Amino acid sequence: MNKPSPLIVFDLDGTLIDTAPDLLATLNEIIAAEGLDAVDTDEMRAHVGFGSRVMLARTYQMAGKHINPEKLDNLVADFIARYAQNMPGNSKPFDGLLDAMTDLKEADFQFAVCTNKTEMLAKKLLKALNMDHWFEAITGQDTFSVRKPHPDHLLKTIEMAGADPKQSIMVGDTPTDFSTAKAALIPVIAVDFGYCDTPVEDYQPEKIISHFNEMTSEMVLSLINK
């Protein structure tokens, strides 16, 4: 039997796609309706990678305002509805991604997405960007009964893509991705241009890249076969 193709599993927000401008615009729309001041987008960018609930909770905390869990649930639902309406907005793939994927595809790699966005939002965004056809599987926080940092979110994504965990690697931008990969015994490449509030070196990923032109097939294979 032929060996299965090697698989690269990408995180979405802050790794594949620069979604921060749209997420922050949605956040500011919602909190304006609640009578709170707009957030400083540079300061909030580091929290974008942890989802809308964390961003909303952090905004209330920074404003010194209490928010109860039911109200937070309502705002999260409102956030998702507004954010979904405007896709793809200004979101776009990070520099060099499509060129790197084109070369990797030629070298027989396959791709998947493992995100803590909901599956619906992830698929809608990738379709709106005309990128959904690249991926063997796109899974979100609600695809399985577990989500990152649980290792099974990653392992089940690999299985869904028809790949071998021993021929797979993850690419991500936050500690959530790094701990998921570590627990699943999958090597991980960290991007240092995503939405992490601490330096990615702190998590000792197998490799750190600052641009997708560093993600060559030779580099990725050397990490998979280590």
Q: Which of 7, 8, 11, 30 binds Mg ion (CB under 5 A)?
A: 11
Q: If binding is defined by CB under 5 A, does position 173 make contact with Mg ion?
A: yes
Report, in Å, the least distance between residue 150 CB and ligand PGA.
13
> Would you call 36 exposed, middle or buried from its count of C-beta atoms within 10 A (0-12, 13-18, 19+)?
middle
Binding site partner of 51, from Mg ion, ligand PGA, none, Cβ cut-off 5-8 A by kind: ligand PGA
Q: How many residues in the shown chain lie near Mg ion by CB under 5 A?
A: 5
Torsion angle (degrees, nearest 10) of CA 84, 89, 90, 95? 70
Does position 14 bind Mg ion by CB under 5 A?
A: yes
Choose, by CB under 6 A, the member of 5, 110, 116, 139 that binds ligand PGA. 116
* Known active-site residue 99: no
Burial 102-121 (b: 16+ CB within 10 A, else e): eebeeeebbbbbbbbbbbeb
Residue from 7, 8, 12, 191 touching ligand PGA (CB under 6 A): that is 12
Q: Smaller CB distance to ligand PGA: residue 117 or 168?
A: 117
Neighbours of 152 (CB within 10 A): 16
- The single residue among 10, 13, 178, 209 that binds Mg ion, judged by CB under 5 A, is 13
- Nearest approach in angstroms of CB 11 to Mg ion is 4
Q: Smallest distance from the beta carbon of 213 to ligand PGA, in angstroms?
A: 22
Of 31-50, binders to ligand PGA (CB under 6 A) are 49-50
Closest to 176 (Cα-Cα) out of 158, 164, 188:
188
Q: How many residues does the chain have?
A: 226
The verdict on 11 binding ligand PGA (CB under 6 A) reads yes
Q: Omega into 199 within 30° of 0, i.e. cis?
A: no
Four-CA torsion 132, 14, 191, 220, nearest 10 degrees: -10
115 binds ligand PGA (CB under 6 A): yes
Smaller CB separation from ligand PGA, 168 or 174 = 174
| SS3 of residue 212 by DSSP | helix
If one asks whether residue 117 binds ligand PGA (CB under 6 A), the answer comes out as yes
End-to-end CA distance of the chain: 23
CB atoms near residue 90 (< 10 Å): 11
- Nearer to Mg ion by Cβ, of 74 and 204: the residue is 204
Residues that bind Mg ion (CB under 5 A): 11, 13-14, 49, 173
What residues are labeled active site? 11
